[in-house]
Amino acid sequence: MFIRLNGLVPQTALDGDAEGWVLTVDGEVDTPLSLSLDDLKSQFENVTLQLVVECGGNGRAFFQPGSSGNQWTTGAVGCPEWTGVRLADVLKAAGVKSSAVYTGHYGNDVHLSGEEKDTISRGVPIAKAQEPEGLIAWAMNGEDVPALHGFPLRLVIPGYPGSVSQKYLTRIWVRDQVHDGEKMGGYSYRLPAYPVAPGTEVPEEDMVILEEMPVKSLITFPQTGTEVPAGQAAEVRGHAWAGNGDVAAVHVSVDFGRTWQQATLDPAPNRFAWQRWRAQVTPPIAGYYEVWARATDANGVSQPPVSPGWNPRGYGNNLQHRIALIAV
């Protein structure tokens, strides 16, 4: 599981000490809540789901010209099994008012400088927060959420950039406006409101919030550069996922996109989990080949062959993944 932090890991997380932890839910609600971990576990249905968490900047390294930030290639994504309670259930218990527009999330991590100021505070539209797959999670893969992933409590909001899945969660503020916390404005997790040429200086007022992540796939086997017998079928497999929760198909090509064949796509264990896929490809004669993978979501939108939608901070890159095969 990739690690991305915007602040210092709280000492409570390093110590594994959740004593006295309280989650506050307030703002545009009828009944503000203060919930301990025991309250969450005992008062709400406990749910376990496999959910993709992907950094908004996954694939940033492939944009030209480049931008500042972690130079992720393909690794800033994972699909652990999360255990917790539905965010929607907690919001229902609080009684969301009709004036609610957005959530604002807060954790107890501090700025990298060590000063007591906001590190990151992001949120999601209230309709997204009320989807049944969003979790307030205390466990990851059957164990306490690790310190680097948000112990003792974190949000998991699948389909949106991983930055909204707040670690070290202490507060959910239901707001009557779009949240304006740290990393919600400027160029942070934002895209130009219209297509721009690579390298364009885009005014801040023309940037809009990155919400739903694009459809994407990875080839996870075999390793690039693997030798395979010419004229014989070789297995290729990987994962596919989509920000809208549903992948309809995966196709692969071994002739640089001239022709495509459909891969076998396993059903997801639950919505917003990635799906395993596999295909048999046959290089006809000895030589160099590339396997390209292309996922398509339920709306018929597919991955492009090149980096799409250049933007100043390098978000949302879902170009087709490819590996090399050497037929011998």
pTM of the model: 0.95
Task: Specify which residues 141 forms β-bridges with.
Answer: none
Structure tokens at 165: 């899945």
Place of tokens 């107890």: 108
- Closest-CA residue to 190 (of 312, 21, 100): 312
Residue type, 102: Y
What secondary structure letter does DSSP report for 312?
T
Residue 41, classed as helix, strand or coil, is helix
Per-residue pLDDT for 232 more than 80?
Answer: yes
- Closest-CA residue to 241 (of 296, 305, 280): 296
Residue type, 145: V
Question: What's the confidence (pLDDT) of residue 114?
Answer: 81
Q: What percent of the chain has pLDDT over 90?
A: 96
The rounded distance, in Å, linking the Cα atoms of 49 and 272 is: 9
What domains sit in the chain, N to C, each tagged with a CATH number? Answer: 11-209 (3.90.420.10), 216-327 (2.60.40.650)
Q: Give the largest Cα separation in the chain, rounded.
A: 69
List pLDDT tens digits, range 264-292.
Answer: 999 999 999 999 999 999 999 999 999 99
Per-residue pLDDT for 77 more than 90?
Answer: yes
List pLDDT tens digits, range 178-227.
Answer: 999 999 999 999 999 999 999 999 999 999 999 999 999 999 999 999 99
Tell me the pLDDT band of 230, cut-offs 50, 70 and 90: very high
User: Over the chain, what is the mean pLDDT?
Assistant: 97
